């Protein structure tokens, strides 16, 4: 993983090359529509407050749990014992990006949503609430964390989430076998090149023309940047949008010319 200094320098480089986040200078109609209706969306449903209140409770939770980490590790923790507050502080997606994912789903209304990396369930809650009619399948490797996430879904009265426990290499194939098409997937799991590309390849046959893949932390490390570059180069991918902390992948076959766009967000 990159050091904080390196990551900060890369973020400055991103800001310098990114297109305006209000759509100025963006001529592709689909991308402009995405900027207008997703990136600039200011809607704040009433349940946002309940989710963020729960986030604050998790940040204050001093309970210690024992976890098993299948991913690329943590910047902060070593060993198996971690406080819930520490997990919340380092692992939960910031409110800004949780709400971005919510706005994507609220606008495009995917019916089948898959999340790799439940953590404590805050981002999952935003995904599920964005389209209560959707079926949300979220995958988590650590049983102690999964238990807390399930409790949080109950506290928020969320009923359209199914949590699958286990290593992604075991659970993701079960999901792709079960659903002919996955409309939206958020990959926030093992932040290493090989697993990330494996997740992409496993999900690819389930991607429809209008499906959306979102990869977390695409600039987190040299490995993740290499994985992102390979995904961008894939023939099946017609459009990518780089928002620095997340990258979006679209498969719109009607878009004859491949396009990789970096937008300030």
Report d(CA 259, CA 28) in Å as an integer: 9
pLDDT computed for residue 164 by the predictor = 98
Burial status of residue 205 (CB atoms within 10 A of its CB: 0-12, 13-18, 19 or more): exposed
What percent of the chain has a predicted confidence (pLDDT) above 70?
95
Report d(CA 210, CA 184) in Å as an integer: 9
Is residue 146 within 8 Å of 166, Cβ to Cβ?
A: no
Q: Would the pLDDT of 74 be above 60?
A: no
Of 88 and 20, the one with more pLDDT: 88
Q: Would the pLDDT of 107 be above 90?
A: yes
Antiparallel, parallel or unpaired: β 112-116 and 182-187: parallel
Q: Would the pLDDT of 158 be above 90?
A: yes
Q: Would the pLDDT of 256 be above 70?
A: yes
pLDDT computed for residue 69 by the predictor = 58
Q: List 19's β-bridge partners, or say none.
A: 263
Is residue 241 within 8 Å of 31, Cβ to Cβ?
A: yes
- Range in 15-19, 45-49, 106-110, 115-119 the model is least confident about: 15-19
Q: Which residues, other chains included, contact 35 with Cβ-Cβ below 8 Å and sequence gap of 6+? A: 21, 22, 23, 26, 263
Is residue 212 within 8 Å of 182, Cβ to Cβ?
A: no
In this predicted model, what pLDDT tens digit does every residue of 21-73 receive, in sequence order? Answer: 777 778 789 999 999 999 999 999 999 999 999 999 999 999 999 986 555 44
In this predicted model, what pLDDT tens digit does every residue of 199-246 receive, in sequence order? Answer: 999 999 999 999 999 999 999 999 999 999 999 999 999 999 999 999
Which residue, among 126, 51, 57, has the nearest Cα to 88 in the 3D structure?
Answer: 57
SS (H, E, C) 68-116: CCCCCCCCCCCCCEEEHHHHHHHHCCCHHHHHHHHHHHHHHCCCEEEEE
Q: What is the DSSP letter of 204?
A: G
209: helix, coil or strand?
strand
Q: How confident is the model at residue 80 (pLDDT cuts 50, 70, 90)?
A: confident
In this predicted model, what pLDDT tens digit does every residue of 162-210 receive, in sequence order? Answer: 999 999 999 999 999 999 999 999 999 888 999 999 999 999 999 999 9
Report d(CA 230, CA 228) in Å as an integer: 5
Q: Would the pLDDT of 7 be above 50?
A: yes
pLDDT computed for residue 78 by the predictor = 43
Supply angle C-alpha 103, 104, 108, rounded to 5: 115
Report d(CA 189, CA 68) in Å as an integer: 13
Q: Which run of H or of E encompasses 161?
A: strand 161-165
In this structure, what token pair is assigned to residue 212?
Answer: 């959306």
pLDDT computed for residue 79 by the predictor = 52
């Amino acid at each position: 993983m990159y050091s904080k200094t390196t990551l900060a320098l890369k973020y400055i480089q991103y800001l310098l090359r990114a297109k305006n986040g209000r759509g100025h200078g963006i001529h592709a109609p689909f991308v402009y529509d995405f900027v207008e209706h997703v990136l600039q969306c200011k809607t704040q449903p009433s349940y946002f407050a309940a989710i963020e209140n729960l986030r604050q409770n998790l940040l204050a939770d001093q309970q210690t749990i024992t976890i098993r980490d299948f991913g690329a590790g943590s910047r902060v923790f070593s060993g198996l014992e971690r406080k819930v507050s520490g997990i919340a502080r380092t692992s939960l997606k910031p409110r800004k990006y949780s709400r971005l994912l919510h706005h994507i789903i609220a606008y495009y209304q995917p019916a089948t949503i898959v999340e790799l990396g439940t953590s404590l369930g805050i981002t999952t809650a935003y995904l599920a609430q964005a389209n209560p009619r959707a079926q949300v399948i979220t995958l988590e490797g650590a049983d102690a964390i999964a238990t807390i996430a399930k409790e949080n879904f109950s506290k928020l009265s969320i009923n359209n989430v199914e949590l699958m426990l286990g290593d992604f290499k075991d659970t993701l194939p079960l999901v792709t076998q079960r659903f002919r098409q996955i409309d939206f997937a958020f990959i926030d799991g093992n932040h290493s090149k090989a697993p990330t590309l494996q997740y992409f390849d496993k999900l690819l046959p389930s991607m429809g023309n209008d499906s959306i893949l979102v990869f977390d932390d695409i600039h987190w490390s040299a490995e993740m940047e290499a994985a992102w570059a390979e995904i961008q180069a894939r023939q099946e991918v017609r459009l990518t949008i780089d928002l620095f902390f997340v990258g979006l992948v679209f498969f719109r076959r009607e878009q004859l010319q491949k396009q990789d766009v970096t937008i300030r967000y």
